Homo-oligomer: A and B are copies of this chain.
Amino acid sequence: MELGLTEELSRQRERARELTVRLVELLAEREKVVADIARLKAELGVPEFVPEVERELRAVALKRAVDLGIDQDLIRRVLTLILKSSVRAQENPSNSNRVTHMDLMRVAKRMERNGMEVVHMEVGEPTLGAPAAVARELSDAALRGYAFYGEAAGLPELRAAIAEDLMERFGVDVRPENVVVTQGGRLGVYLAMASILSVGEEVAVIDPSWPHYKQMADYLGCRSVIHKTSLEGAWVPDPAEMERLMSDATKLLVLNYPNNPTGVVIGEKLMREFVELAERAGAYLLSDEVYMDYSFGEHETALATNSERVVMLMSFSKSWGMTGYRIGYLVAPKEIADRATRIQGSLLTCVPEFVQVAALKALTDRETPKRYREHMRRGAEIICSHLDRMGARYVSPAGGMYVFPELPVEDATEFALKLLKDRGVAVAPGSVFGNYQRHVRLSISDSLEKVEKGMRAIGEELRAWQTVTDRGNPPVIG
């Protein structure tokens, strides 16, 4: 009997081996077909990623999996691996070596080390920094004992204060157990995504957008589907268009209003439509509201929808100029908050408690966010009046700390590099935020004097640029 079982085990192992080899052969065959498809698409000018085709393919494969009674999760993951590899095979290699705002920042820093003065309009950092009272709290707290291992979700008193603050400001019902204090907004995005998504699922993102959303999706083995908004459409997103792009694999929608980089906000109605879309799709909606205090009007929070599908992200970096403190928070349904807590605990144990005590101090200060908002509002006015004179097209921001104009240049990245080298003004190329080759993002990080100076330099560079371009392409004489 024992021998029979042992023989049977060997036989089944042999069978598993055969099936695995056949699997490899099948994948190899599929790769060849995919390469052919890529070639045909290139010849026909068809886009690399056609959501309808992929959605149908997924549906067919998953249906077969259901019929055969096999774990759908496994199939979904394997599908994503092979579909991601398909799109990579079809990708335009020229995209990979584009210049980012981080590259520009590095060049800018090098220039500063060499003694040049640089106007920083490339990063989103309020340069006045945090209030001194917040800074002093760090050592006080550490000396009072807030310098040991702490709870992964954050100090109970900070979570309670955040819940109360949101309740007071927006009348929303947030409980401390829904709040997770995170090591900054970047990690907040990662934790939300890692808590919601599995390998092979999809994130719906609205372009132009902070590249971090797409990067984190990619890092987690997921794919981003992009709803591209336009300057002509005043950067207003369309839930119907987004729905068209989504598939059964889309488990998360990302909104970010006031928006980075456009400065656009959306109203209650549109917010509600996106939340309902997420609910219908059985997905979650991540609402990145880190610029809430820079809203020139009333801020519209996704939490007001009271949906069990909303995850809200906030940070102390912008409102209180605490970029270097690395602290933010998520407000999420209990199961997502718990998962985010477990992941953060596993990666970091906790956010340093003395930083959390400093954040608690910041929360009591409502003046600093107002001062910063006023700074951003005036900075945006300066930028816009200069842009008007340049004849640049843009949407006047309703919040945030950026303006995202289209400049009268063919390649804004080249322009940005020249602007930095010639005139010491750093701006972020539009291509960082999606397919926006003629745009730049102008940030109101520096003092208003420097913003003014930066805008004058941009005007000058633009005039010089156009002269050179005119020279390079002599006008056709009619």
- Minimal beta-carbon separation of A463 from chain B (angstroms): 33
- Minimal beta-carbon separation of A181 from chain B (angstroms): 13
Q: Which of B34, B74, B78, B324 contacts A149 (CB 8 A)?
A: B324
Of A40-48, A161-169, A283-291, which stretch is located at the interface? A40-48
Of A19-27, A223-231, A246-254, A429-437, which stretch is located at the interface? A19-27
Are A41 and B352 in contact (CB-based, < 8 A)? no
**Which residues does chain B contribute within 8 Å of A71, judged by CB atoms?**
31, 85
A147 within 8 A of B: yes
Are B143 and A347 in contact (CB-based, < 8 A)? no
Are B349 and A352 in contact (CB-based, < 8 A)? no
A145 within 8 A of B: yes
Given A33-B15, A82-B74, A142-B135, verify A326-B346 contact (CB < 8 Å): no
A190 within 8 A of B: yes
A17 within 8 A of B: yes
Number of chain A interface residues as a range = 35 or more
**Which residues does chain B contribute within 8 Å of A17, judged by CB atoms?**
56-57, 60
Given A44-B6, A147-B129, A149-B324, verify A70-B31 contact (CB < 8 Å): yes
Of A61-69, A170-178, A298-306, A366-374, which stretch is located at the interface? A61-69
A199 within 8 A of B: yes
Given A125-B149, A146-B324, A352-B326, verify A68-B20 contact (CB < 8 Å): no
A181→B339 CA distance, assembly (Å): 27
A60→B16 CA distance, assembly (Å): 12
Using CB atoms, name the residue of chain B closest to A130.
B147
A454 within 8 A of B: no
